[in-house]
Amino acid sequence: MTAKVAGLIPMVHVADVQRSVDFYRLLGMEIRGSLRNAAGKLQWVHLGCDRAEAMFTIASEPVIAHQQAVLFYLYSPQLVELREHLLSHGVKVSEVSYPSYMPKGEIRIEDLDGYVLLIGQSG
């Protein structure tokens, strides 16, 4: 099968992105990408070191630790083909959107447990 995902990076909703950056830097992670709002406040960050990667984004609701609100972000080199493949198998898939952080395109699906997966066009 050529229409497959090629990467997975957890995206974690946090109360303060900069605080998370500061903590994960203690573990050796470095910023690989980031977005700030108009006021300059960090809203999203991609951290990594070696093969460890995570994205952190500002939570829209209070963070409740025991709920561990995680969004799975995956990548596919054939996003359109993957979307068509999923649709042909009865999976409810969003239209391709083009948010500022993924201008090449992104789709949204939910797994059978209700976890949200965003899949971005890689390459």
pLDDT single digits (tens) 41-81: 999 999 999 888 999 999 888 877 677 667 889 899 999 99
State the pLDDT at residue 112.
78
d(CA 26, CA 74): 26
* pLDDT digit string, tens, across residues 2-39: 889 999 999 988 999 999 999 999 889 999 999 999 99
Give the list of residues 6+ apart from residue 76 with CB closer than 8 angstroms, or none.
3, 4, 5, 6, 82, 119, 120, 121, 122
pLDDT at residue number 81: 94
Polymer length of the chain: 123
Q: How many CA atoms lie within 13 A of 112 on its CB side?
A: 1
| CATH architecture group of domain 7-121 | Roll (3.10)
Half-sphere exposure of 33 (CA within 13 A, CB side): 12
Pair of tokens at residue 5: 């995902």
Domain ranges of the chain: 7-121
Distance CA 32, CA 54 (A): 10
Q: Which two tokens stand for residue 95?
A: 């239209």
